Structure 1
Amino acid sequence: MPQACTYVVFGATGNLSLTKLMPAFYHLEEMGRLQEEVNILAIGRREWSREEWVKVAREAVSPKARGGINETVFKRFCDRLDYFQMDITDPAAYQALQKHVEDSNWSCNMAFYLSLGPDQFAGVVKQLGKSALLDETRGWKRVVLEKPFGYDSDSAKQLQLQLNQYLKEEQTYRIDHYLGKGMVQNVMVFRFANLMMEPLWNRNYIDHIQITHAEDKPIGTRAGYYDTSGAMRDMIQSHLLQLLALVAMEPPASMDAEDLRDEKVKLLKSIRSISKNNVNSQAYRAQYSEGTVNGKAVPAYLDEPGVADDSVTETYAALKVYIDNWRWAGVPFYIQTGKNMPKNKTLVSICFKHPPKQFFRDSQVKKMEPNWIVFGIQPEESIWIEMTAKQPGLEINTQQMSLNATMKKEGEQSNDAYEELLLDVIKGDRSLFLRYDEVKAAWKVVDPILQAWASDASYIDTYPSGSWGPAGSSKLFDSADQGWRYSLKTEGL
């Protein structure tokens, strides 16, 4: 159950807070999910008054509010807001922060959301610990960390060692907003709540599985972060490997947080290591060149503000992995992500094998299509199943037919993933947050690729903005029958 809580948001004036966190808090207020004793304290460097912060918060919430701002709801929301100006590198400021919370007579249960750069995590947690703000003798204390958690395995380990000095694992909430998406959770429900799926969910029936995340936007103002990160770190190491884990893991003993996370870790550890010799056959990278997206001409990545002229940072990354366990031995998993593609789209596509004998193949010229189950994660929230059936008429000619379960009505807006995750922090539900061994296992998968790419800075493939990525990524597929799928609906359906 939600409890009384003081939510302290570091970096509250930054982009993440204004575009995601404040609108999410507002919608929780609108849904009546926040206890009366929940207060939201924004931390920033600017010398703002509370009234100035409320005005900024309103400007942030207005374009995101579903159906427009409800003034009654917004007044209740504003009553929760406060602003505290501080330099997060100043130890004395944390004592002042503690005094401000005590003087305000707010709840001793405190959640610290670090909407900051990852290089600032350790320093802030250190000061919180030294000032006794993480002491749980009076109320619980929880710290929410945004991705990325480290830059590779070694940096993640060093960060964890620093955090361990002041923070217990059960106090640590490593957030991955992808896990808060309704359709991501629906993957688990579809698998584990339907008995007819479990006998088919293995190497005997599934040919391959694809996970595609496409964005129709460039890097925007994120060059400072993105040009040192790239698509492999930004999307695959975190979000998409988590999605793979949910698709492929064994049924957990229960839906409790630790049972669920145990199975995800077990799955990630089962991914076959990629040797340096196999990087070129199991991974592909590219960078968007100029082109047209949504009818507008857009520049190449190298022409974006803040990007180095000789950058070989990938804006597209694709990966093929194998899972060395009983269920998935020999089944390839293909993952890809890219920017400046034609549409925003996230799909999980499961392709089944052909029947042992295609009885009806002779009744038509083309080869019969395989069965598919496709999860539309965003923007289409849907489960799409493709099967073969007889065409109307006297002859036995086959056709591909589909069953479409749409999770969202036309015009209906979904809850943002941050709404559920912010609420889970208050409830103490860590099932949708990452444990350190999950982070460590995910870095282990991509580290060999990142090291190989870092040592080869002479060339990177390109793809036109507005296209579905580089043609060269098709070399990852194990057979000529396999290819990337970009939509719920295939041609001819």
Structure 2
Amino acid sequence: MPEEVATAQAQAAADGAATNPLRTGLPEDRITTPCSVVFFGASGDLFKRMLLPAVYSMYLSGRLPADFALVGFARSPYSDDQFRDYCRKQLEQFMPDGSKPQGSMWDDFARRISYITADFNDTKHFTALKDRLDQNDRDFGTAGNHLFYLSTPPPVFPEIIKHLKSAGLEKSANGWTRIVVEKPFGIDLGSARKLQQAIEAVFPENEIYRIDHYLGKEPVQDIIALRFANTIFEPIWNRNYVQNVQITSAESLGVEERGGYYDHAGALRDMIQNHVINLLALVAMEAPISADADDIRGEKYKVLSAIAPPTHADVFSMSARGQYGPGMIDGHSVKGYRQEQDVASDSNTETFAALRLYIENWRWAGVPFYLRSGKRLPRKLAEIAVTFKPIPHRFYGESTDQIEPNVLVIKIEPDEGISMRFEAKVPGPAEHIRSVFMDFSYGAGFGVVSPPAYERLIGDAMLGDQTLFTRWDAVERAWEIVTPILEVWQNTKDFSFPNYAAGSQGPDSAKKLFPDWRHV
């Protein structure tokens, strides 16, 4: 690996420590073990926009081992050199920091890239992949360690897994084998179980990495630290002090070019079942006995198992759905969902979903958890808001209704940080109070920009750390929770669609579910 990589990494660390004393003593980044990473679907959108930039950023920062190789495996016809040129062009466009692939660092990275033009249903292409991986072991010292990343459409997953086994790639004689599976993990409970059966027939659970990129975001990783590394929060993190919890994932964008996919998915499948329910589990779980991956994931599963799925009769009282119509976003007119490309003109697919769930355990009994996700809302926003109970007694001449409750907000995007709303006396002779805020920003606090989620997740998969990946029992339970809602919504056409204008706060039905939603 060129000297420039190590020099740049050391200089960045020195600069950060010099400008921000909070960075002093931070642990060094973990260096992954030697391996070959195979990206199935390497000519697709996810690879070029997210996965390739993540791997190259890891290389530039010195977090990849010297013994590393990348193999692309897809249908598009490329030679090795053509694929390297393709990768360079994508990095020029999609590197998050704007850095360009050039010089000796790019040359060294590029020589580690190879490509196999393949049909996912043809065994001989998987035999060719095995030969390529053996060659990488000899040329780059990858030590028989193989990470298979499935960034293809989910219907292809079983075929890929079957052919990996037929080619003898499900295990390595000299190293480890791991498989990363992208969301969505099934389209419903039945399909998720079939997919799990196909995977577990070839790979054991400790080799399966079900990815949810939300779990790689820095504020999400920090939820456990916030709760269990600070004595001030845990004593009040329960039904005695918490009024409600709101978890929001909002987008100002529409479906863009994903209309064909989205019209068969919808907001409940696309966001609530995985991303948002995973956030709920982290917020509500009990303290694990250790930081071990299975201890943490075990506590997450316990929380999900304590959520009673709504009965079919209760679905409409515990949920709300919506579909955006034409409207205004940032002063520009935008079309409605049914006018989007590849969307049916009478589509019944929801672009907004909201739920009220209860966790039936000692800590959270009676506390409502409100989950919502939607497209074409006023702005992009992801946050967790823990609202505490109001004061029990009139104070300072104000009525208790005039005093805002304390709120702790974990801001996931676009501004990563934590905010606390509390009450303070207004300066002057009058006895008046008003809300004020304490804010923590990750960028200002640590003097660094949080790396994209995929960098952390790919690195963890290389290291064999499953903490930020979802275990099968939790995936299955999340599907069990949303299945009654999916069934009722699919069998009941909503004749009010479209029922919210693009750029609004969502449908009126969400306000009936909960009138005090935080504004997006």
TM-score range, shorter chain: over 0.9
Unaligned stretches of 5+ in structure 1?
Answer: 488-493
Mapped contact 1:347–1:486 kept (Cα < 8 A) = no
SS in 2 for 1:62: helix
2:120 is equivalent to residue 85 of structure 1: no
2:379 is equivalent to residue 313 of structure 1: no
- Alignment map for 1:44-443 (pairs within 5 Å): 44-65=74-95, 66-69=97-100, 71-72=102-103, 73-104=105-136, 105=138, 106=140, 107=142, 108-360=144-396, 362-363=397-398, 367-409=402-444, 413-443=449-479
Which deviates more from structure 2 when the two are superposed, residues 444-453 or residues 39-48?
39-48
- Taking the aligned partners of 2:109 and 2:356, their CA distance within structure 1 comes to 46
- Taking the aligned partners of 2:507 and 2:321, their CA distance within structure 1 comes to 8
- Taking the aligned partners of 2:36 and 2:437, their CA distance within structure 1 comes to 49
Name the CA shift for 1:230/1:365 in 2 (closer, same or farther; >3 Å): closer
- Give the CA deviation at 1:458: 4.8
CA deviations on 1:445-479 (whole Å, 9 max, x unpaired) are 100000000111252542111112112201112xx
SS in 1 for 2:434: strand
Mapped contact 1:281–1:475 kept (Cα < 8 A) = no
2:506 is equivalent to residue 472 of structure 1: no
- Give the CA deviation at 1:296: 2.2
> Which residue identity lines up with residue 467 of structure 1 in the other structure?
S
- Taking the aligned partners of 1:336 and 1:189, their CA distance within structure 2 comes to 25
2:70 is equivalent to residue 43 of structure 1: no
> Which residue identity lines up with residue 389 of structure 1 in the other structure?
A
- Give the CA deviation at 1:395: 2.3
- Give the CA deviation at 1:60: 1.7
1:490 counterpart residue number = none
- Taking the aligned partners of 2:99 and 2:504, their CA distance within structure 1 comes to 35
- Taking the aligned partners of 1:97 and 1:408, their CA distance within structure 2 comes to 42
SS in 2 for 1:459: coil
- Taking the aligned partners of 1:485 and 1:165, their CA distance within structure 2 comes to 45
- Taking the aligned partners of 1:51 and 1:413, their CA distance within structure 2 comes to 33
Count of aligned positions: 482
> Which residue identity lines up with residue 6 of structure 1 in the other structure?
S
> Which residue identity lines up with residue 434 of structure 2 in the other structure?
Q
> Which residue identity lines up with residue 511 of structure 2 in the other structure?
S
2:75 is equivalent to residue 19 of structure 1: no
**What is the root-mean-square deviation in Å for CA atoms of aligned residues?**
1.6
Mapped contact 2:352–2:375 kept (Cα < 8 A) = yes
- Taking the aligned partners of 1:363 and 1:95, their CA distance within structure 2 comes to 76
Name the CA shift for 1:366/1:451 in 2 (closer, same or farther; >3 Å): closer
Name the CA shift for 1:43/1:70 in 2 (closer, same or farther; >3 Å): closer
- Taking the aligned partners of 1:338 and 1:485, their CA distance within structure 2 comes to 14
Same amino acid, percent of matched pairs = 40
Name the CA shift for 1:164/1:365 in 2 (closer, same or farther; >3 Å): closer
Mapped contact 2:150–2:182 kept (Cα < 8 A) = yes
2:518 is equivalent to residue 485 of structure 1: yes
- Give the CA deviation at 1:225: 1.2
Mapped contact 1:129–1:167 kept (Cα < 8 A) = no
> Which residue identity lines up with residue 245 of structure 1 in the other structure?
A
> Which residue identity lines up with residue 87 of structure 2 in the other structure?
A
- Taking the aligned partners of 1:430 and 1:398, their CA distance within structure 2 comes to 47
CA deviations on 1:139-193 (whole Å, 9 max, x unpaired) are 1111100011111111111111122221111111100010000010111111110
SS in 1 for 2:93: coil
Mapped contact 2:268–2:353 kept (Cα < 8 A) = yes
- Taking the aligned partners of 1:109 and 1:450, their CA distance within structure 2 comes to 40
Mapped contact 2:387–2:405 kept (Cα < 8 A) = yes
- Give the CA deviation at 1:227: 0.6
- Taking the aligned partners of 2:414 and 2:58, their CA distance within structure 1 comes to 22
Mapped contact 2:35–2:147 kept (Cα < 8 A) = yes
Name the CA shift for 1:359/1:69 in 2 (closer, same or farther; >3 Å): same
> Which residue identity lines up with residue 59 of structure 1 in the other structure?
K
Mapped contact 1:28–1:34 kept (Cα < 8 A) = yes
Between structures 1 and 2, the one with greater helix share:
2
- Taking the aligned partners of 1:458 and 1:203, their CA distance within structure 2 comes to 35
- Give the CA deviation at 1:365: 10
Mapped contact 1:364–1:398 kept (Cα < 8 A) = no
Name the CA shift for 1:92/1:466 in 2 (closer, same or farther; >3 Å): same
Unaligned stretches of 5+ in structure 2?
Answer: 1-30
- Taking the aligned partners of 1:103 and 1:342, their CA distance within structure 2 comes to 52
- Taking the aligned partners of 1:26 and 1:459, their CA distance within structure 2 comes to 48
> Which residue identity lines up with residue 403 of structure 1 in the other structure?
M
SS in 2 for 1:383: strand
